[in-house]
Structure 1
């Protein structure tokens, strides 16, 4: 993921970077619907946005695991590792998704080329508890983002450019079954970041610092 280098970044971009750095320790999050123990398997994570050429997904998280930013071309962002999903899908399987949408409609190219992203603003930061759509076998987790703060989470062994992918780019009804997120001020509150840091220290104390 490329971090912005300017010292005069918009406040929302700085907060996104701070959140990403604070949660990078979460190497693998587990998608859960209940507290029950179940057999799971680690899979990679990819985001896809359907917002058009003037928007980006600045960053996103699924149950605390961070995905890479998704550029203005939409399509699929680079894959990240990882989340753990049940080997067998079951009713009620959900995941919490948090994401920030960058708005480039007022971009100033001269400033951006000088690494000043002040003209890039936020369309919104969202959070939603999203159903994991039915899958027959484990595969990569794809998080699809739609206009209006909507999102779907699917599991597929083929990518978004394949005709066998569950969500096709030209499907005008793909967002009909999407979950609408609620707007939040920042990806993670100070209390959530502090709790993440506490959990990290506990893991480091128990297992050692992997770094």
Structure 2
């Protein structure tokens, strides 16, 4: 008999909590979530990047990486929305270092890491409809950035960004 009383009591409490939680979830979210992808058109490695604080993966030179979850954007796009993209580059990603775990490695790595560069840019958020497939960030020569919200990922012919993956990097970047 006590099992039956406990069972009924637990169902009653569970149902009450469910009603309370349902009351909290009324209304539509003000944000859309999508994957955060990156495409690197340069010969430097992207050690990591972020968009408005949402972290992205590392990207090899002339490569792409995606599927990092998630970038959050306002449900309703409006003109004038901006994104802050921050990233770190390794200008010499193919450097040969001594054997891992040795004092020589630690010294060589510290010297190598001193050449990492920090960058940031403010870019316009391109228009999107009522859904977000992904936010795709393109890293271009001279620390330029382009962003796409299209459901067509690079290098699809339908992708809005058409820049070649291996872009020629100028000896001196324009200011």
TM over 0.5, shorter chain: yes
- Contact 2:42–2:166, Cα closer than 8 Å, also in 1: no
Q: Which has the larger radius of gyration?
A: 2
Specify every segment of 5 or more residues in structure 2 that has no aligned partner in the other structure, as ranges.
1-28, 168-173
RMSD: 2.8
Q: Pick from 148, 151, 164 the counterpart of residue 170 of structure 1.
A: 164
Would you identify which runs of 4 or more consecutive aligned residues in structure 1 move more than 3 Å? 113-117, 119-123
Deviations 1:165-185 (A, max 9, x none): 111242899xxxxxx9xxxxx
Equivalent residues of 2:35, 2:66 under 8 A apart: no
- How far residue 105 of structure 1 moved from its aligned partner, in angstroms, is 6.3
Higher share of residues assigned helix: 2
- What count of residue pairs does the alignment treat as equivalent? 132
* Distance (Å, rounded) in 1 between the aligned partners of 2:47 and 2:149: 22
Give the TM-score of the pair, scaled to structure 2. 0.64
Q: In 2, distance between residues paired with 1:120 and 1:77?
A: 24
**1:1-211 matched pairs, under 5 angstroms:** 39-52=30-43, 55-72=44-61, 74-104=62-92, 107-108=95-96, 111=98, 114=100, 116=105, 118=109, 120-121=112-113, 122=115, 124-136=117-129, 137-170=131-164
Q: 1:78 to 1:157 in 2, by over 3 A?
A: same
DSSP-derived class of the 2:119 partner: strand
| 1:78 match: secondary structure | strand
Report how far residue 97 of structure 1 moved: 1.0
State the alpha-carbon separation in 1 of the partners of residues 164 and 136 from structure 2: 17
- Name the structure 2 match of 1:25: none
